[in-house]
Each structure stands twice: as C-alpha cells, then as structure tokens.
C-alpha cells in the first residue's frame, strides 16, 4: 500500500543545474499537486493536474514545469536551479478536488 | 481569488489547556471544501477533517472540534485538554472550483507548542 511516492528524498543541486522530482501514486487518483514549503512557512501550490494530459499553474509556477502523461505519474522539472528554489517539495494526490489529499514524504532540495 | 488566512503564527499553551486555531478563508465560489491538516515535527502531513460549503454542522472527534461559520468565512479548530503530542504545525486548506477545476491551497500554518 504505497500511496504517494516521491524520489529522491534529498538532493543538493548547483546553481544552474536542472533536475526532475519524481512523484507516483497508486490510488488511481485524478488530481495531483506539487507544493513547496519554505522553512517555517506554509505550503505554496506550484502546479496541479486534474487528470492525465491536463495541468495548470498554481500560486508559484515560475522556474518549474510539469507533465502528466499517465494517471499515476506527475514529475516536476526544475530548470536552471536557483538558491530561491531551496525548499521542501511535497507531491500530493486526491480522488477529486474536494476530497482528502494524500501526501508524499517530501523531497528536501538545496541549491548552492 | 481564493485565499486562506491563519493569523496566528505560533501559539504556546500548557498541557491540559484548551486552544483554538483560527482559519479565515476567501472565495467567490458557492461550492468549496475546507480542510485541516497536521504536520508533526517528523514532517509528514496528516489529514484531520474535511467540510463542504453546504454543511455548517460543527464536528467533534475526541478532543478535537471544528466550528464552521459561513457568515464570517471561518473554519476554526479547537483542541480540548491539549497534550504534548498535539505539538505540531496545523494547516487550514481550501479547495474550490475556479473555472471548473479545483485549486487546493493552504494557509501559512499555526505552530502549536504544548508545554508539559
């Protein structure tokens, strides 16, 4: 019963590098989300998806890209990493937009 | 636009005290959902409760209770007889259908410290 799985758990990037944060869920949920949580702060929505092939911007999309080719997977791409992207990233999924969201364990990303 | 405000950044109480965490939301939608989540020091996010906009009944679950008032756009959370294990960051969240799809947004959280 895996739920939402994120990889990697930790990563250090150099300024200007790119990487993809992986997220997969096995609950057949339609909705998936990416959030970032800066130290001592709340969760900010980066991107979300309401189904395969459909994505939309959240509150803080700049510097990120997403795709949703399958129901299960929702990778987050960071292009040209900047120190401002140092954060903990959470992926989540929900059956509909009005139901409980299940969260992954988070990815702690440091850009130096 | 949707917005969730948790004005209390941090609250400290002594064990066995009651504490209320405030949540005020803004939305133009008539159909929306409100949630509370808990983030203990270990960092995971734990769902506590969900309420839809058509159900203003208050809810009690053990030491936890929630008060939803549409007239004041508030969805407050009360912990009765707090315990040290309640120490965590608590988030209020709102999901509603802007343009037919649901954005699931969170407040900035309230850090609760329960002292023994």
- Give the pLDDT of residue B29: 87
Least confident residue range of A14-28, A29-43, B56-70, B98-112:
B98-112
How confident is the model over B2-8, as a mean pLDDT?
94
- Give the pLDDT of residue A2: 79
Nearest Cα neighbor of B107 from B92, B97, B96 is B92
Strands A10-13 and A107-111: parallel
> Using one digit for the tens of pLDDT, what is the confidence trace for A33-60?
999 999 878 999 999 999 999 999 999 9
Contacts of A35 in chain B (CB under 8 A): 106
Q: What SS3 state is found at A6? A: strand
Q: Output the average pLDDT for chain A.
A: 95
Q: Output the average pLDDT for chain B.
A: 93
| Structure-derived torsion over alpha carbons of residues B3, B9, B13, B17, reported in degrees to the nearest 10 | -10
- Work out the minimum CA distance from B18 to partner chain A, whole angstroms: 24
C-alpha triplet B32, B52, B71: angle, nearest 5° = 80
- Give the pLDDT of residue A39: 82
- Does B12 lie at the interface with A, CB-CB under 8 angstroms? no
Task: Check CB contact under 8 Å for B103 and A58.
Answer: yes
Task: Check CB contact under 8 Å for B47 and A100.
Answer: yes
User: CB-hemisphere CA count at 13 Å for B15?
Assistant: 5
- Does B35 lie at the interface with A, CB-CB under 8 angstroms? yes
How confident is the model over B47-64, as a mean pLDDT?
90
Show the tokens assigned to B74.
């508030």
Contacts of A103 in chain B (CB under 8 A): 44-45
User: CB-hemisphere CA count at 13 Å for A58?
Assistant: 27
> Using one digit for the tens of pLDDT, what is the confidence trace for B85-99?
999 999 999 998 755
Q: Which of A6, A36, A42 to mutate to test the interface with B (most CBs of B within 10 A)?
A: A42
- Give the pLDDT of residue A1: 67
Report whether B95 contacts B103 (CB < 8 A). yes
Determine the Cα–Cα distance for residues A110 and A82; give it in Å rounded to an integer.
Answer: 9
Show the tokens assigned to A12.
């250090």
User: CB-hemisphere CA count at 13 Å for A14?
Assistant: 0
Determine the Cα–Cα distance for residues B95 and B110; give it in Å rounded to an integer.
Answer: 19
Task: Check CB contact under 8 Å for B35 and A100.
Answer: yes
Nearest Cα neighbor of B64 from B41, B43, B52, B47 is B47
Report whether A3 contacts A95 (CB < 8 A). no
Contacts of A58 in chain B (CB under 8 A): 103, 105
How confident is the model over B6-28, as a mean pLDDT?
96
Write out residues 49-88 of B within 8 Å (CB-CB) of A: 50, 52
Q: What SS3 state is found at B40? A: coil
The CB density around residue A104, as the number of other CB atoms within 10 Å, is: 25
Q: Which of B27, B48, B91, B104 to mutate to test the interface with A (most CBs of A within 10 A)?
A: B104
């Amino acid at each position: 019963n895996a739920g939402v799985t994120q990889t990697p758990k930790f990563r250090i990037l150099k300024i200007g590098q790119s990487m993809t944060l992986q997220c997969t869920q096995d609950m057949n949920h339609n909705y998936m989300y990416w959030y970032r949580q800066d130290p001592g702060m709340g969760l900010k929505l980066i991107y979300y998806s309401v189904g395969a092939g459909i994505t939309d911007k959240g509150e803080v999309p700049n510097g990120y890209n997403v795709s949703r080719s399958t129901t299960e997977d929702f990778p987050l791409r960071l292009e040209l990493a900047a120190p401002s992207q140092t954060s903990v990233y959470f992926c989540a999924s929900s059956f509909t937009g009005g139901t409980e969201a299940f969260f992954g364990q988070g990815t702690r990303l440091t850009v130096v | 636009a949707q917005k969730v405000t948790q004005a209390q950044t941090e609250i400290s109480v002594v064990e066995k005290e009651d504490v209320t965490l405030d949540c005020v939301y803004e939305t133009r939608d008539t159909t929306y959902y409100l949630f509370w989540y808990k983030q203990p020091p270990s960092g995971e996010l734990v769902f506590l409760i969900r309420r839809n906009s058509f159900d203003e009944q208050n809810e009690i679950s053990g030491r936890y209770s929630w008060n939803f008032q549409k007239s004041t756009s508030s969805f407050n959370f009360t912990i009765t007889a707090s315990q040290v294990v309640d120490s965590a960051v608590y988030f209020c969240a709102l999901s509603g259908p802007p343009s037919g799809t649901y954005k699931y947004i969170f407040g900035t959280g309230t850090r609760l410290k329960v002292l023994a």
